[in-house]
Chain A
Amino acid sequence: MQKQAAEIRAAALEACAQAASVQELNEVRVKFLGRKGQLTQVLRGMGKLDPEERPRFGKLVNEIRDEIEAALTEREKELFAQEEERRLMAEELDISLPGRKRVRGTMHPVTRIINETKGIFLQMGYQIVEGPEVELDYYNFEALNVPADHPARDMQDTFFFTGELLLRSQTSPVQIRVMEKQDPPVRILAPGKVYRADYDVTHSPMFHQIEGLVVDKGITFAHLKGTLQLFAERMFGSETKIRLRPSYFPFTEPSAEVDVSCIICGGSGCRVCSDTGWLEILGCGMVDPRVLEKVGYDPDEVSGFAFGVGVERLAMLKYGINDIRLLFENDVRFLEQFTG
């Protein structure tokens, strides 16, 4: 009988391994372990054995039953996995097709530069302020130390409405408007539109400037340089160097032009920087004492610095745009490039 049991075991394990589907496997289970199955039959014949052998034989048959049961379960898992694998392969998609398009709009490059700059200066405690675009001659020129007939008026072709009212040619009038209303300390950034009668590849009759002004006790030219160094590093990368060249603006004294190391070639010289390694990006200086006096500040008590950045110039440099007019044409193929 023991031999018979061993044969059943071998046959069952073989049948289990051969089963090609879950259904076949069920048939194997019924054939060997079912109520009328082979192993059950052997157990029923146990009465023929010596009583003292019965427990040993019973144990053996149970072990065989467990073994077959385990093999069946194992095989069932295998077969299920195989079948699922087949089903999934039948569901395969063409993943080379593009996704269902989601459109996110883009921010205008001018706004991007303004927002980036705002972010840098907000961290340094600057207030972002605005002023009118249609300005009085007084704020655009007179209070900035540019009286009538001053040669500096020729530097800017200003749009006029009347003798007194004009489109501001710079964001500097905001300096005056803020200082008139507020006592030092002043720490402001004024982005906005400005206008000059000029139109070519690098000049647009409307463009944007960002004006910065800091007035307090003990403000120095070295503070201005440090502030602009930080700005240049944040805007163009930590490797960026700046250099100051003396310049002339009627409302700052001393005045300087600020160059950054060329962001295209890193300073070795290229077409963009005309082989100088430097790119002019802004004008700055220490606020002229006459300007401070005009707004009722005492130049012996406080000092200040101011700077003005051309936003389009930065955008053109940063994004490699070669014609300023593209910025105001609103061709969607242009606008939609400024993603991310």
Chain B
Amino acid sequence: MLVSYKWLQDYVDIPWTPEELADRLTMAGLEVEGLKPLAPDLDGVFVGYVEETVPHPEADRLTVCTVDVGEKGGYSIVCGAPNVAAGQTVAVALPGAVLPGGMEIATVELRGVVSQGMICSESELGISEDHAGIWVLPSDLKVGEPLVTALDLDDVILDVSVYANRPDCMSMIGIAREVAALTGGSLRLPSVTYEVLPVSLTEKTSITVESPELCPRYTAALLDGIEIGPSPIWMQMRLRAAGMRPINNVVDITNYVMLETGQPLHAFDYDQLAENRLVVRTAKPKEAIVTLDGEKRELTEDMLLICDAQGPKCIAGIMGGLDSEVTERTKTVLLETANFAAWSVRRTSRTLGLSSESSARFEKGIDPYGTLFASERAAHLLQQLAKAEVYSGHIDVSALAEKDVVIDLRLEQVERLLGITVPVQEIERILTVLGFGVVKAEETVWQVRVPTHRGDVELEADLIEEIIRIWGLDKLPSELPADTAQSGGQSVRQDVMDSLREKLMGVGLSEALSYSFGRADNNDRLLRPSEPMLQLQNPISEDLVAMRHSLLPGLLNAVGLNASRQQARVALFELGAVYFGELPLKEQPREEFHLGIVLWGQRHPLNWALEQAEFDFYDLKGILEAILPACVELRWGKGSNPSLHPGRQGTVEYQGREIAYYGEVHPAVVRNFRIPGRVYAAEIKLEDCLDLFRTVPVFSELPKYPAVERDLAVVVDEKQPVGELISSLQELGGELLRSVTVFDVYAGGSIPAGKKSVALSCRFQADRTLVDEEVKEIMDRCLAGLESRFGARIR
């Protein structure tokens, strides 16, 4: 809502500068988002009168004008605008003036003729975008007066943001009422008096409301003998200040009264209405209307229309029809001030993609009791400014139930909710000036009658909000609620996620965050069976449509992006939900938290002291080993995930359930995500193993006797899993063999083709000093076992 500082003073005294006013309104819940002068500085621009024009002797398009600028004298000005003519009142920039665009006006010679200034267009003055020709001003302005004074341009416009619950503030009077509450002053309502003809309008027209649920109230007035013309300049300037274009006096007055009262009005050309009457009804099948903007609108049967005896004349509350608009020939006007159901206007406006100042107000829900006042105010102005003769009375079709909202307001409740005592006189003053009826029922209880323009106020709490809003939130003290016995805490899952995050950062991975929705074909891109994902009805893009089944697509996208941006190393993890639901979706889907990991590129950042090498499978496995608790029995097995390299992947099982898969990403998947090189990825289903991460380690006594270490190197088949050698050794070695560690694996060189050498370190430990003979005995047993089971040859 654009609010003119000067216009507002018609309704309330303002003891503050525009800046102060903006601040006060903001702090009362009417946020002022901007503050700007109505017009730029226009020093040196005056009202002039074009006395005479002659064509320029040397140039077809130029006109030499003799301009009277009152006390400033007469000037000869060369003008290039096609619409300049003798007898016009115009805006003249005299030599020395600097126009808003930066143009400096000086006496110049244009093709041999001296020009002592410039006749200006609206755009040259920074008034509007209009640069079609010079701005022709009303003839009643005083010639020679500075333009700023003549047009009252010395004003400031406040851009006020109005919350959805305050449609009453979509009006000058509504804003003024708030200002009065803030200043402690009072509201002045504009004049609504006029003379009436001895004839009632009911003899001339009728209104039929067929859809009272969509049109709770329809008020009509009839005005005759109208003289169409331009509206006075002050009204034009105020409409411009509010962002509307002046058209003619009748249309301007309907717009002006809408801005003033918040009640949209519509003026029908009475003589263009079939049978001179109106019917309010919903559209019939296949009905259409050409609206004021010249567009043909196809209507649907839920849309409310204002029709004459033949067909639609107006889309209720949104826009009028072209064929009943007020024109230069209009003599009689049927004036509508109605109330339409907010939801209906909103739906129709959305469906048609058509909105207006009127629909913006109806959509928020306006005061159904404001129709009569607006109608009378418009009649007053039409009589004053368009010589209208007003038929007596109104037609007022109302389906409104008498609504009288009275709320008990308890002083004790004010204090209980706010935590501060508001003076009783202030409570009464604030509510009264905002239009509430305040009657004291008991010593500390009031009965408060809610005015019809405040449909948002329904409860005691709403009244308390009004009081503190105006009295000032800055007066609230800062206190803390009393301590409770309860101590803070979080869920197991949150604890697990926090600790995993620390571990992952500790092993050099950074946390990523991706969108929870992605492409609908992401399962295909991962080579997974195309299980359908939950899809948004109204996505903002094809890439953000399906709720993810896996964290991998997001992480692979991150790798692709970083690779394309010349990064050498990507080591990321993400903790987040994946979403599984039975389609068609009947109930809330399962949301399961997963951990995803991805590695790509260089293992280390480039550094003189570190060997440069790419990440490999064992980096990934090492990370999993580091973050999964070592003190719990896990099964590390082979995997068969279609997204991963068939020969380079594994799974982790816990209590018989697969909790993780990991490995090199399948090259086809890597290509699908446009990544160069090899990628390693893992995903852990946290939901299935939260307790795993909560396992408490158990201390075991430190050995008192020295351990004995024996190394062992065997040659086995190239394909022989080393894991089987280790578990065999552990079994064969018995309880004295405490650990087996692989410390070298190699092939080639002296090792025969198809074979590899595996070096293992065995550590023996007992609660006594071990003797060489018993260790040797165990080692011999182990070697014999490896030989017979795996054909291992000792080196």
Task: Report whether chain A binds chain B.
Answer: yes
Report the bound CA distance from A151 to B365 in whole Å.
9
Min Cβ gap A252→B in Å is 9
Please choose the segment from A1-9, A29-37, A50-58, A152-160 that sits at the chain B interface, where 4 or more of its residues have CB less than 8 A away.
A152-160
Q: Is the CB of B484 within 8 A of A185?
A: yes
Q: Is the CB of B461 within 8 A of A151?
A: no
Residue among B478, B488, B489, B498 with the highest chain A CB neighbour number at 10 A = B488
Prevailing SS type, chain A contact patch: mixed
Q: Is the CB of B505 within 8 A of A104?
A: yes
Q: Is the CB of B515 within 8 A of A328?
A: yes
Please choose the segment from A40-48, A72-80, A84-92, A330-338 that sits at the chain B interface, where 4 or more of its residues have CB less than 8 A away.
A330-338
Asked whether B209 is an interface residue with its Cβ less than 8 Å from the other chain, the reply is no
Min Cβ gap A171→B in Å is 14
Q: Is the CB of A245 within 8 A of B508?
A: no
Q: Is the CB of A105 within 8 A of B609?
A: no
Min Cβ gap A228→B in Å is 8
Which B562-621 residues have a C-beta within 8 angstroms of A? Answer: 562, 565, 567, 569-573, 576-577, 579, 581, 584-585, 588-589, 591, 604-605, 607-610
Report the bound CA distance from A98 to B536 in whole Å.
51
Q: Is the CB of B491 within 8 A of A128?
A: yes
Report the bound CA distance from A149 to B554 in whole Å.
36
By a CB distance below 8 angstroms, the chain B residues around A155 are 164
Residue among A106, A136, A149, A330 with the highest chain B CB neighbour number at 10 A = A330
Q: Is the CB of A104 within 8 A of B585?
A: no
Q: Is the CB of B418 within 8 A of A221?
A: yes
Report the bound CA distance from A185 to B484 in whole Å.
9
Known: A105-B510, A128-B489. A332 touches B501 (CB 8 A): no
Report the bound CA distance from A185 to B485 in whole Å.
10
Asked whether B534 is an interface residue with its Cβ less than 8 Å from the other chain, the reply is yes
Asked whether B494 is an interface residue with its Cβ less than 8 Å from the other chain, the reply is yes
Contact of A335 among B487, B511, B588 (CB under 8 A): B511
Query: From A228, which residue of chain B is reached at the shortest CB distance?
Result: B478
Known: A135-B588, A247-B29, A254-B468. A98 touches B480 (CB 8 A): no
Asked whether A320 is an interface residue with its Cβ less than 8 Å from the other chain, the reply is no
Asked whether B547 is an interface residue with its Cβ less than 8 Å from the other chain, the reply is yes
Contact of B588 among A103, A132, A254 (CB under 8 A): A132
Contact of B488 among A122, A185, A230 (CB under 8 A): A122
Q: Is the CB of A132 within 8 A of B505?
A: no
Asked whether A193 is an interface residue with its Cβ less than 8 Å from the other chain, the reply is yes
Known: A108-B512, A199-B540. A130 touches B491 (CB 8 A): yes
By a CB distance below 8 angstroms, the chain A residues around B557 are 330
Q: Is the CB of A108 within 8 A of B511?
A: yes
Q: Is the CB of B459 within 8 A of A290?
A: yes
Contact of A330 among B418, B512, B541 (CB under 8 A): B512
By a CB distance below 8 angstroms, the chain B residues around A246 are 27-29, 465, 468-469, 473
Asked whether B531 is an interface residue with its Cβ less than 8 Å from the other chain, the reply is no
Report the bound CA distance from A165 to B586 in whole Å.
8
Q: Is the CB of A161 within 8 A of B537?
A: yes
By a CB distance below 8 angstroms, the chain A residues around B473 are 225, 243-246, 256
Min Cβ gap A90→B in Å is 21
Query: From B28, which residue of chain A is reached at the shortest CB distance?
Result: A246
Min Cβ gap A40→B in Å is 52
Min Cβ gap B86→A in Å is 49
Min Cβ gap B358→A in Å is 16
Categorize the interface residue count of chain B: 35 or more
Q: Is the CB of A134 within 8 A of B591?
A: yes
Q: Is the CB of B515 within 8 A of A220?
A: no
Q: Is the CB of B506 within 8 A of A104?
A: yes
Which A246-281 residues have a C-beta within 8 angstroms of B? Answer: 246-248, 250, 253-257
Q: Is the CB of B515 within 8 A of A332?
A: no
Min Cβ gap A298→B in Å is 13
What per-residue 1/0 map shows which CB atoms of A220-233 lie under 8 Å from chain B?
11110111011000
Contact of A229 among B166, B478, B572 (CB under 8 A): B478
Q: Is the CB of A105 within 8 A of B591?
A: no
Q: Is the CB of A205 within 8 A of B364?
A: no
Q: Is the CB of B478 within 8 A of A103?
A: no
Contact of B607 among A101, A193, A205, A244 (CB under 8 A): A101
Contact of B511 among A111, A128, A205, A290 (CB under 8 A): A111
By a CB distance below 8 angstroms, the chain B residues around A161 are 534-537, 585
Asked whether B794 is an interface residue with its Cβ less than 8 Å from the other chain, the reply is no
Asked whether A310 is an interface residue with its Cβ less than 8 Å from the other chain, the reply is no
By a CB distance below 8 angstroms, the chain A residues around B104 are none
Q: Is the CB of A125 within 8 A of B476?
A: no
By a CB distance below 8 angstroms, the chain B residues around A225 are 473, 476-479
Could you show 11 A-B contacts with beta carbons less than 8 Å apart? Answer: A101-B605, A125-B484, A220-B420, A221-B418, A225-B477, A226-B477, A227-B481, A248-B166, A289-B459, A303-B417, A331-B565
Rank and list the top 10 A-B pairs by shortest CB-CB distance, nearest first: A220-B419, A246-B29, A222-B419, A254-B465, A330-B558, A122-B488, A248-B163, A128-B490, A105-B505, A103-B508
Known interface pairs A243-B473, A254-B469; 19 further A-B residue pairs with C-beta atoms within 8 A, sorted by A's residue number = A97-B608, A104-B505, A105-B504, A108-B511, A110-B513, A128-B494, A132-B588, A134-B589, A151-B364, A160-B538, A187-B486, A193-B577, A216-B484, A221-B468, A226-B480, A245-B473, A254-B468, A330-B558, A332-B570
